[in-house]
Amino acid sequence: MFKPLTIVTSKTVVLPASNIDTDQIMPARFLTMTTKAGLGEKLFNDWRYHKDGSPTDHYLNSDAAKACEILVGGHNFGCGSSREHAPWALSDYGFRVVISSEIADIFRNNSLKNGILPIVIDKAAHQWLLDHPGEAVTVDLKSQEVRLPKNGGTYKFEVDAFSKHCLMEGVDEMGYLQKQTDAITDYEAKRAHAPASAI
């Protein structure tokens, strides 16, 4: 249910701070939204807007940033809550790839489920990216490589085979689980006789 992702070549937006948490990405007061549309506007809201709602001069408000598909974040990006509003907002803003030297667990999972590729890259490449904001970088999911320009080098990254398949085909997990209905029914039938806990 999202656009397939194979190769992304784009300039980067760099947010170098460590431990950028989901409260920064999407402040809690916007979590009352019950749809996904328009969340990109609220992405990093408290960095991008003054209290009166007028925009700050944060780079994310520039047209240059809005054209970028790759976000480079500082160490331990996306820590904090399980709110999926964070990847929804990143996706709605236009990002398809997030790169950091460490990415928090739930955020990483939530990203994969929403067509965003989270990449944990080694320290040297991460430092290069932090030092070169705005350079055009290529992410090749098929070969699992990040290619940096200007002799920055080529770096491999890990992605589990299943998520890779889903991203490249643009398919989601709901359909995959639906196909396992028989196995689930089977399991439930067997389980009923075990001393299992149930509400």
- Interacting residues with another protein (CB under 8 A): 17-19, 21, 23-24, 27-29, 31-36, 46, 51, 74-76, 79-84, 87, 102, 104-106, 109-110, 113-114, 160-162, 165, 172-174, 176-178, 180-181, 183-184, 187-188, 190-191, 193-199
Smallest distance from the beta carbon of 136 to another protein, in angstroms? 26
Nearer to another protein, 44 or 128 (CB): 44
Our separate counts of H helices and E strands in the chain read 9, 7
How far apart CA 142 and CA 165 sit, in angstroms, is 9
Distance of alpha carbon 192 from the chain centroid? 39
Q: Do residues 26 and 78 make contact, with C-beta atoms less than 8 angstroms apart?
A: no
Shortest Å, Cβ 11 to another protein: 24
Strand segments, DSSP code E, in the chain are 7-15, 70-73, 97-100, 117-120, 136-140, 145-148, 153-156
Nearer to another protein, 105 or 131 (CB): 105
Query: In one letter, which amino acid is 137?
Result: V
Q: Of 66 and 191, which has the nearer Cβ to another protein? A: 191
Q: For another protein, which is the closer residue by CB, 145 or 172?
A: 172
- In whole angstroms, the minimum distance from the beta carbon of 50 to another protein comes to 11
